[in-house]
Amino acid sequence: MGLWETITGRSKPKQAQLDALFHVPSAAITLQAALGLTATGDGAVCYRGAVGSGFATTQADLVALVSEGPDAPRVTTTADAFGFTWLELDHDPIDPANPDLTSLCTGLHAVNTSLEEQGFGPGLLCSLVPFTGADGRSVGLVYLYKQGTFYPFAPSGAQARDNLLELQVRDALTGELPMEQDLSRWLAIWGAPGL
C-alpha cells in the first residue's frame, strides 16, 4: 500500500484474474472423477446493468459477438429479482457427457473482458458454470470477479444449500483453482440459471 492509500484509507481494488476461467475444463475432470459431477456445458455471467444507450449498445454487441459462428451458443439475457442481469450461454453439446468447456470458458472470458474494457467492470459480480450429478444434485462453480476466486454453490431446495457437497467440491479443487477461503463470500445465488 502506498503513501496516498495510507493517508486516504483507500486501497486499490484487487484485479480480476480472468485467465483462471481457463482452468475450469481441467477442474471439471477432477469433479467428474472425484464426485461424479458433470458440467452441463452451459454458463452465465452476472452483472449489474447500467442505464443508458452506451451500456445497451455494449450488451447488444456482446450478444452478437458470442453468438457468432456455426457452433456458437444460444445467448440470452434475463434479469433476476435482485436487479442483476444474467447473460446466459447455452451450448447444445454433441456429447452430453463431454461438453465443450473450452469454448464455454472462452465465451465467459470474452463477456467479462468486454464489459471491463468498456468501463462496466465495477458492475460485474460473477461467472457461473453449472454441474450435475447422476443422483440429481447440482452445484455451480462460481467465479467471483472482484476477488479473482472460485467457490461452489449447491442449492438443495427452496432457500436451502447442500453445505457438505460445497465443502467436498472445495476440497477436490483446492490447488487446482484459486478457491475462496472466506466462507462469508460464498454467496447464495438463488435462481441462477442452470441450477
Q: Does 100 score more than 70 pLDDT?
A: yes
DSSP states of 52-88: SHHHHHHHHHHHHHHT-STTPPEEEEEE-TTS-EEEE
pLDDT tens digits along 54-63: 888 988 988 8
| Confidence at residue 6, expressed as pLDDT on a 0 to 100 scale | 62
For residue 92, give the 3-state DSSP assignment: coil
Question: How high does pLDDT run on average in the chain?
Answer: 88
Q: What is the mean pLDDT of residues 100-129?
A: 92
Burial 12-48 (b: 16+ CB within 10 A, else e): eeeebebebbeebbebbebbbeebebbbbbbbbbbbe
* 156-180 pLDDT, tens digit each: 988 899 999 999 999 999 999 999 9
Q: What is the mean pLDDT of residues 126-150?
A: 95
Quick one: DSSP state of residue 15? P
Given a cut of 80, whether residue 86 has pLDDT beyond it is yes
Residues 6+ apart with CB under 8 A from 147: 14, 180, 185
- Confidence check: pLDDT of 92 > 80: no
Q: Where are the domains of the chain?
A: 3-185
The Cα–Cα gap between 64 and 147 comes to 28
Residue pair 100/69 in contact (Cβ under 8 Å)? The answer is no
Mean pLDDT of 132-148: 94
Query: Residue 143 burial by CB count (10 A; 0-12/13-18/19+): exposed, middle or buried?
Result: buried
